[in-house]
Amino acid sequence: MEHELRTEFIEDYVAPYGQEVTHGKIALEEHYESPTWDATGDPENETARNKEDYFEAVKARLHSPEIRIKEMDRNGVEMFIMSLTQPGIQEVLDTDEAVKRAHEMNIWIYENYVQKYPTRFNAFAAVALQDPEAACKELEFCVKELGFVGALINGYTMKNDKNNIEYLDEKQNFPFWQKLVELNVPLYLHPRDPAPNQQRGYEGYEGLLGSAWGFGAETALHALRLLCSGLFDELPEAKLIMGHLGEGLPFGLPRVQHRLNNQKPCGAHKKPLTEYFEKNVYVTTSGHFNTQAFLNTLMECDASHVMFSSDTPYESLDEAALWFDNTPLSYADREQIGRQNAINLLGLDL
């Protein structure tokens, strides 16, 4: 169905606010959890960090496509690309269990969201990089058999021990990047807390450890490793997505590159990191609804590499959509960022 026909979704929402609404939006960072498995890890950490009523509302939305569709309808959102919430598979220490869980979660989101509501939901595959060969097989199954549009990885992967972590630039994961390129799908790098033995700086300030700061700092470092590694020289067609307006890199990367210009080689990259960021990296607005930061991002990034997202259920879709629909953009730019860029990148048939 063409997005112009979806105006009825948001009539009730427009009237009380009197604001513009962009129809047919696509959001790429929207999370789920199966009722059969607590993918958020240690629930005590979440309840200690977040207000009780907030986390109860989050949990309700993690499980329910029907709640999601009501929110999408009133905000002019046509499709969510679903992904398993963090830390998800990346914190399953036993390799066999991780492989099994990843497949179970992919089947669950397919049967409960994608298959039931194919015009409203698609998904990024959950994969177990504890076993890169198994991750390649799971990704191929999800893309070819279930119609998924890529993979989402929740940061580094823990293996056998919570302080034994592996990053996506390490050589054992290169075959997985090759599989992504072969299938022509992107990898969404989603944040998680810094590793336990790297959290000394947050002692006494645990509120900064997660999404308030630690998420972004950890993910920006992870992305810098990828940019420095030479991965995008060997696989120039590889595509990386980052949320939260690129975890600060649109603003910080020029400074990083400026200093690297005066240093000895850092990694195996052959081109400036800023060039890879421009060509191989895509960013979304998930969880970062500040107009000045958004416009600054557009000044540093190709507009064809910027996409709308909200980060539900951890953020409010009402807030995200109302903000985006009223940012100072031309109609063409709003349509491109809100919808068309996602269609082009993910190959969506909409």
Give the residue numbers annotated as catalytic, written as ranges. 311
Enter the tokens of residue 27.
């959001």
Distance between CA atoms of residues 244 and 25, nearest Å: 17
Bridge-based pairing state of the strands 187-190 and 151-154? parallel
Q: How many CA atoms lie less than 13 Å away from 187 in the CB half-sphere?
A: 27
Residue 152 CA to residue 29 CA, distance in Å, equals: 9
Torsion angle, alpha carbons of 233, 236, 240, 246, to 10: 70
Q: Are strands 157-159 and 161-166 parallel, antiparallel or unpaired?
A: antiparallel
Residue 113 contacts residue 69 (beta carbons within 8 Å) = no
* Residue 163, phi-psi category: left (phi > 0), alpha (psi -120 to 50), beta (remainder): alpha
